[in-house]
Chains A and B, each alone.
Chain A
Amino acid sequence: MTPAPAPRMRDIFRLLLNLVRYSPWHYAATLLPQALRLTLVLAPGLIARAVFDYLSAGRPLGPDLWLLIGSLVAAALGRVGALLGAIYLENTVFFRSANVIRMNLFERFMRRPMAHLMPFPPGEVVSRMGLDGGRLPNYLSQIENVFGSGVGAGLAFAAMAAISLPLASVALLPLLVSPIAVALINLRRLRVLRNLRNMEGRIGALLGDAFGSVQALQIAGAEARAVEQLDRLNAQRKRYAVLDQFLNKLVLESFVTDLALVTTAAILLLAAQSLRAGTFSVGDFVLFSYAANRVTDFGFYLGNSMSQLQESRVAVERMTPLLSGAPAHTLGWPSRWLAELRKAPAGTFRALEVDTLTFTHASSGRGIRGASFRIQAGDFVVVTGRIGSGKTTLLRTLLGLLPAQSGGARWNSKTINDPAEFFVPPRSAYTPQVPRLFSETLKTNILLGSDDAVLAEALRLAVLEDDVPQLEKGIDTRVGPRGVKLSGGQLQRAAAARMFARAPDLLVFDDLSSALDVETEEKLWSRLRETRGGRRTVLAVSNRRGALRMADRVIVLKDGLILDNGPLDALLERCPEMRAIWEATADTGPQTADR
């Protein structure tokens, strides 16, 4: 996989813009309670000013004072209501945005070109999808806080300016200084953040490995050593995490909050002078001491949002490699892929022509070269060859799970442009060498959303009908992570049933029968051969005699080249490689005398 280009700031802003465009009204709605909440924050200051002025004037206690004091509680009630509303709306829009990113990441990743490979260990992919997907919406929430506190700060400034404009202006000074300090520190923090996220990914990967191979660890008694590895990585992560927090703190507390405190102090000292000079009332003084802090809040949120932008940047850097080349900004907009997929028409299958298909693995130099063959509707074609001859590569390249370096295929004489998107039901279904099931019920695993009506026939074709009643809860048995609760043979037949449930034109098997006993295998192939509205078309990789004997034609692969292609009997006569394979598989197939 080619390394993804580093995302630029422009891409990040486009992505953010897309997120806002995706939920414009949601974002707009959150601003309202935000503004209300942060506006009401100023209320205690204004009320206190009035109370102090009232008392310092030496006026007798009257109902208007009690009204003032009562409004203090009323304002608090309003603030709390606005707070809960703000939190609810903020969360709504946060998860809406985070989920569109996660959905897109997941979809993109599931459609990656080299489907059998992962750019990172699964634990790390998961950490990137789960955590990094939330950082951008988080930034947007911060922007809203900046807006809300900005409104609050504006009002605070207005209230102070009404008393003394020059003094009020002093309160704005930190807003000029702190962003620069924050930006400078963030430069340093970016590196730390990258290291921190990298370490988080490695820890996810290690944990994934450890829990994924727990049996091997237990056999080797290596549980404690795995934890030692974890400890080592954890210690490194701790270093970065603490440094990151330190820098963050330095930004937010020292250069924003505390700097603002210095200005507040300066303002208050100046105000105190005015107080003594008599140009300031005690109430004015109280208001100043309160309102200056609201300007500080704005500075805090501003600085915080700048920090969050760095986190977003690192998050986008980490998500980009999962997108297989799609631009990062597409993450913020719902994918049209599913809708387009549903529109794709399917005609009656007549023939598949494979033409000089070539793919070489960069690492081993092995692969397939110039593979050409033809499959008619109703054909049963078996690809055979020794290990490393390129059988699996042939299937994967044909199906677009590996990118063909040259050549291609035609379906009903029409060239297939994007095989990975083309070779799906109802055209074809595929079971890889080591099939995977998921921790759902057996039924869900087989149907994958297909209609219940097809279940019985799929089970019968897969020779699974006798096994199902033996399971704990029959067809509704949960098969456990990766299907561990099934035996190897049951797992392979469940994978076969999963294909049959889609009733595709073309069935593609990669060594399906490796864990089946001969009797079951024979049954499976012969049930597939029953004619029922036309014979099923099969392309199977196998070295087993059961499959070979069933084939209309056998394709013999050697070192990535198609050596021969024809009926088994003819090949056994004319092709030494075919004879060698036939002999080598004597152990696992019934004797030829059976025929």
Chain B
Amino acid sequence: MLASRLCMSTTVSLLITYLKPQRGKAVVLAALVLTGIGLQLGAPRLMQSLIDASRAGTEGEALTVLAAAFLAAVLAKQIVTPITTWISDNVGWSAMNALRADLTLHLLRLDLGFHNSKTPGELIERTDGDISTMANFFSQFVVRVAGNVLLMAGALIVLWLQDARLGAALTGFAAISLVALARLHRVGVPYFKAGRRAVAQTIAFIEERIAGTEDLRGNGGLPFTLGQMRTLTTADGNARRKANTIARVTQGSWELLLAGGLALAFTLGALFITAGTMTLGALYLVFAYTSLISANLMQITEQLDDFQRASANIERTAELLNTKSRIADGPRALPAGALAVGFESVSFEYAGDTPVLRDATFRLEAGRKLGLLGRTGSGKTTIARLLSRFYDPVAGRVTLGGMDLREARVPSVRSRVSFVTQEVQLFHGTVRDNLTFWDNAAQGGRIGDEQIRNALASLGLGAWLRRLSNGLDTAIAGASSLSAGEAQLVALGRAFLQNPGLVILDEASARLDPTTERLIEVAIERLLAGRTAIIIAHRLSTAMKADDILVLERGRVVEHGPRLTLQHDPASRFTAMLRTGLIEEDEA
């Protein structure tokens, strides 16, 4: 019960937050809805006077006048309804889009630990799919439910005016019904939640598998994968069928209650009419109103269905919105210029895993270049991730420009530290968009085409840019449309435009052709000029450009010093590596 009330308040507060900016439209909407209700209630009143007039044998109001009035009313409704829909849909979609934007931003800012546990497919489904099912809720729910409540209230008032006894009896009945329904209104919610979970799982599955088609096909994994898909879709269908059926229990209860109400009205009507204290026309009015409400029942129950569905998704969305990033923002901004790096007894492990960094301590002076060497899994990438503040150390401090990273503002860290990864993440858009992350003048951003061209030129990539078929407008269709080398160039361009104080470069392992490789070498040299740099080197030639060398082994710093010193020390590990030509140190 508490959970239910809690959710009720989440739902209501979400409604208020996202519908508030739409107040103006809401007023117009309310007026339109009221007009519609007036029309719906008016028509049976006309019919009532018709019946009573014919029963009394009087002419009553002129039939033609009635006919005209009725037709006018219907025509007016014909115009009012689509306009109402138009406005309420606009209201609903604006609210929904605002919620989508907030949720997406929140998720994009969550730590990588979160993203390593959720597939993009699931997140797409939760930011777009889940919220889309709230469309009706945001656009129609308030209007429809409020409209129908008003309709019922209006009907009861008209009945009170007609016959206080009947009005009182039916009002009592309505009150009891509402209490009963209030208890039932959430019966489907847990089932809808389970259904949405199942859908998100299927979607996540599909998204991951289609990206791994070659792997699955080449290894004969398709039959197994199709089997998994069958299990998932079946489970998803069963979960949703259950939810859809159970949610209709609410609708069924409505129908039963209405039938009960009508039976009550007929019983009372029979008594009063026989006693001569009520007309047949008045009973018709009751019947007409009950049918009216019954006809609207379809709409109300759809709304209630949607409400249950939306409540389930609001709870799922709220769960995501309440997920806190493990990275707490600090108050200070990092200083300008090249940044000194400090690791002070830093230890780190990924959740529940073996330690990847153990008591690592080193300093890198501003403007110097550090070559980071070690086997795969020795902790090189972790150092880069700690410096980009994707994670905080489990023990010890990481400092940049003398400031503990925990005290620094995250946006300031991200703008002053550039991490060029081996695998470059590209998205569907132009080269310009991919270089600037949409922050370009063409879209009202800060970076003009001239600046992009200059940046590429100073990286030695002017010729490369001219070779692209459409220049900066060349479309990139995801990671598959550029060669690995070109993707690397884009990544270097991104870093240069960012103008960082520290560059961390995870050198791409061999797979590049010599021309591209030379281009990249030049670009890296220009990018690193005047900046502090940490290079995770896979090639000897790259390591030889470093000022300092640091060798990691199983998360420990086993060697650290100026390159020239180490190079001339015959006992150093670095010399051993140079001798064997191995850059990834062999432990054997």
Interface bin, chain B: 35 or more
Q: How far is the CB of B492 from chain A (nearest CB, A)?
A: 13
Q: B375 at interface (Cβ–Cβ under 8 A)?
A: yes
Mark contacts of B397-426 with chain A using CB atoms, 8 A cut-off: 1 yes-contact digit, 0 otherwise: 000000000000001001101110111111
Partner of B85, one of A245, A430, A584: A245
Q: Smallest CB-CB separation from B262: which chain A residue?
A: A72
Chain B residues in 8 Å Cβ range of A126: 121, 124, 203, 206-207, 210
In the complex the two chains form, what is the Cα distance from A109 to B117 in whole Å?
26
**B108 interface hit (Cβ, 8 Å):** yes
Q: Does A265 contact B104, Cβ atoms closer than 8 Å? A: no
Contacts of A91 in B (CB 8 A): 237, 240-241, 244-245
A103 CA to B234 CA, complexed, in Å? 10
Tell me the dominant secondary structure on chain A's binding face. Answer: helix
In the complex, what distance in Å separates the CA atom of A426 from the CA atom of B223?
A: 13
> A264 to B35, alpha carbons, bound, how many Å?
20
Counting CB contacts under 8 A, is A36 at the interface? no
Q: Are A246 and B85 in contact (CB under 8 A)?
A: yes
Q: In the bound complex, what is the Cα–Cα distance between A502 and B264 (angstroms)?
A: 73
Of B51, B202, B582, which is within 8 A of A285 by CB?
B51
B160 contacts the other chain (CB 8 A) = no
Interface residues of B in 206-262 (CB under 8 A from A): 206-227, 229-230, 233-234, 236-238, 240-241, 244-245, 248-249, 251-253, 255-256, 258-260, 262
Closest to A396 in B: B214
A98 interface hit (Cβ, 8 Å): yes
A112, A206, A586: residue with the most chain B Cβ atoms closer than 10 Å: A206
B322 within 8 A of A: no
Q: Specify which chain A residues have a CB less than 8 angstroms from the CB of B256 in the assembled complex.
A: 73, 76-77, 80
Considering only CB atoms and an 8 Å cut-off, how many residues of chain A contact the other chain? Answer: 168
Bitwise, A392-418 to B at CB < 8 A (1) or not (0) is 000000010100000000000000000
Q: A83-B255, A429-B219, A515-B509 are in contact. Are A208 and B587 (CB under 8 A)?
A: no
Check A48 for interface membership: any CB of B closer than 8 A.
yes
Q: Which residues does chain A contribute within 8 Å of B213, judged by CB atoms?
A: 109-110, 112, 115-116
| Chain A residues numbered 249-267 whose CB sits less than 8 Å from any CB in chain B | 249-250, 253-254, 258, 261-262, 265-266
Interface status of A1 (Cβ within 8 A of chain B): no
Interface hub of A98, A223, A516 (most chain B Cβ within 10 A): A223
A contact residues around B277 at 8 Å (CB): none
Chain A residues positioned under 8 Å from B127 (CB to CB)? 207
In the complex, which residues of chain A have a beta carbon less than 8 angstroms from the beta carbon of B295?
Answer: 293
Q: Are A213 and B427 in contact (CB under 8 A)?
A: yes
Q: Across the interface, do B259 and A44 meet the contact criterion of CB distance under 8 Å?
A: yes
Does B512 touch A at the CB level, under 8 Å?
Answer: yes
In the complex, whether A382 has a CB less than 8 A from a CB of chain B is no
Q: How far is the CA of A203 from the CA of B63 in the complex (A)?
A: 56
> Are A72 and B259 neighbours in the complex by a CB distance under 8 Å?
yes
| A268 B263 Cβ-Cβ under 8 A | no
Interface string of A57-92 (1 = CB under 8 A from B): 000110001101110110111011001100110011
Of listed A116, A123, A590, residue having the most chain B CB within 10 A:
A123
Q: Which residues of chain B are near A266, meaning CB under 8 Å?
A: 67
B363 adjacent to chain A (CB < 8 Å): no
With A272-B54, A514-B509 already in contact, the answer to whether A587 and B539 are too (CB < 8 A) is yes
Chain B nearest CB from A504 CB (Å) reads: 8
Residues in A neighbouring B203, C-beta threshold 8 A: 126, 130
Most buried by A among B213, B236, B540: B213
Q: Are A52 and B580 in contact (CB under 8 A)?
A: no
Say yes or no for A353: interface residue by CB 8 A criterion: no
A488-B241 in contact (CB<8A):
no
Partner pick for B109 among A98, A212, A223, A438, CB 8 A cutoff = A223
Q: Say how far B451's CB is from chain A's closest CB, in angstroms.
A: 15
Residues of B within 8 A of A208 (CB): 120-121, 124, 207
Indicate whether A242 reaches chain B with its CB closer than 8 angstroms: yes
Which residues on B sit within 8 Å (CB–CB) of A428? Answer: 218
A286 with B513: CB separation less than 8 A: no
**Pair A123/B207 contact, Cβ less than 8 Å:** yes
Annotate B422-458 by CB proximity to A: 1 below 8 A, 0 otherwise: 1111111000000001110000010000000000000
Taken together as a complex, chains A and B put the C-alpha atoms of A258 and B283 apart, in Å, by 25
> Is B345 close to A, CB under 8 A?
no
State whether A69 and B263 are in contact (beta carbons under 8 Å apart), knowing that A110-B209, A518-B584 are contacts in the complex. Answer: yes
Task: Determine which of A77, A87, A388 lies in contact with B248 in the assembled complex, contact meaning CB atoms within 8 Å.
Answer: A87
Q: For residue B126, give the distance in angstroms from its CB to the closest CB of chain A.
A: 10
How far is A487 from B241 in the complex, measured between Cα atoms in Å?
A: 41
> Is A221 a contact of B511 with CB atoms below 8 Å?
no
Chain B residues near A221 (CB, 8 Å)? Answer: 411, 414-415
B341 interfacial by beta-carbon distance below 8 Å:
no
Which of B54, B251, B259, B583 touches A75 (beta carbons < 8 Å)?
Answer: B259
Closest to B444 in A: A228
Question: In whole Å, how far is B117's beta carbon from the nearest beta carbon of chain A?
Answer: 6
Which residue of A235, A387, A401 contacts B97 across the interface (Cβ within 8 Å)?
A235
Alpha-carbon distance A94/B259, docked complex (angstroms): 30
Q: Closest approach, in angstroms, between the C-beta of A592 and any C-beta of chain B?
A: 10
CA distance A490 to B55 in the complex (A): 91
Alpha-carbon gap, A69 to B262, bound state (A):
9
- B121: chain A residues at CB < 8 Å are 122-123, 126, 208
Contact B586 A517 (CB under 8 A): yes
Which residues in chain B, 115-169, are within 8 Å of chain A measured between CB atoms?
115-121, 123-125, 127-129, 135
Interface pair A61/B414, CB less than 8 Å apart: no
Cβ of A214 under 8 Å from chain B: yes
Q: Does A302 contact B (CB under 8 A)?
A: no
Contact in complex: B81, A438 (CB < 8 Å): no
The answer on a CB contact under 8 Å between A223 and B206 is no
Complex: A434 Cα to B212 Cα, angstroms: 10
Considering only residues 487-537 of chain A, those with a C-beta below 8 Å from chain B are 487-490, 495, 498-499, 502, 508, 511, 514-519
A238 at interface, CB cutoff 8 A? yes
Q: Which 5 residue pairs are nearest across A and B when measured between Cβ atoms?
A: A430-B218, A95-B237, A449-B224, A213-B425, A76-B259
Using A99-B233, A99-B234, A107-B226 as known contacts, list a sample of 12 further A-B pairs with CB atoms less than 8 Å apart, ordered by residue number in A. Answer: A76-B256, A95-B233, A125-B210, A218-B112, A219-B388, A246-B86, A289-B288, A290-B291, A482-B208, A489-B377, A517-B586, A588-B538
Subset of 12 A-B contacts with CB under 8 Å: A61-B271, A68-B266, A69-B270, A91-B241, A210-B104, A219-B417, A242-B93, A480-B116, A514-B511, A543-B510, A587-B510, A590-B581
